[in-house]
Amino acid sequence: MPADTATLLLDRAQTLIQTRGYNAFSYKDLAAAVGIRTASIHYHFPAKADLGLALMARYHAALEDALAEIDHRGRSQLARLKAFIGLYRDTEARGAVCLCGSLASDRETLPAPLQAAIADYLTRSERWVAARLAEGVRAGEFAVAGRSADAAASLVAGLQGGLILARAHGAGAHGAGAQGTGARGTGAHVVDRVQRSFLALLHSA
């Protein structure tokens, strides 16, 4: 669909980073994936750091869109939180990890603006979850066992880590196809498990 080469480059680069890591993907890989020469990539993104930055900007924008979408539908706070978790479930289904999680591992080798972008993304997620929790409690929709702020941080951490666990075992994805057997390896559906534990935290009290 994206006849736009720059967009295609971002798409492929994101996939490569999420599967191979920022430092392990090369312009050669990316060029091959897109069907142009490595030098042409520099036309669109002067340096690798520019590509990374553009990628995080787009990723963050997509998060904002998704959160706005969820909030706009204006359902219960619980439903919103479930929808948020659903975003991670989709990522898990694609056998991917969060772009942030992947970049965070190579943190020290990344340019400062990129490091900041990663932190922003995670902070934004955490704040949004915390706000949903606070609102849900205020409206008497549910009670949170323990502190809301702890639960928010814990959920985001659990989701990020969940993606790592899911891909670490299972994973597989031998380049296969779109079928997706569903249950691959022992650690399938980690995000579901995280969701259930998180929800168990809410109804009590």
Q: By CB under 7 A, tell whether 43 contacts DNA.
A: yes
Q: By CB under 7 A, tell whether 19 contacts DNA.
A: no
Q: Which residues bind a second copy (CB under 8 A)?
A: 19-24, 97, 100-102, 104-109, 115, 118-119, 122-123, 126, 145-147, 149-151, 153-154, 156-162, 164-165, 167-169, 171, 185-187, 190, 193-194, 196-201, 203-205
Cβ neighbours of 59 (radius 10 Å) = 19
Angle between helices 148-168 and 190-203 (to 10 degrees): 160
Find the shortest distance in angstroms from Cβ 26 to DNA: 3
Q: By CB under 7 A, tell whether 47 contacts DNA.
A: yes
Read off the tokens for 143. Answer: 């009670």
- Stretch of residues binding DNA (CB under 7 A), selected from 25-33, 55-63, 97-105, 141-149: 25-33
Nearest-angstrom CA–CA distance, 40 and 75: 46
Angle between helices 148-168 and 77-93 (to 10 degrees): 20
Q: Which residues contact 3 (CB under 8 A, 6 or more apart)?
A: none
Cβ neighbours of 102 (radius 10 Å) = 23
Pick from 25, 84, 128, 198 the residue near DNA by CB under 7 A.
25
Find the shortest distance in angstroms from Cβ 52 to a second copy: 13
Pick from 14, 17, 18, 44 the residue near DNA by CB under 7 A.
44
The number of residues making up the chain comes to 205
CB nearer to a second copy: give 44 or 158.
158
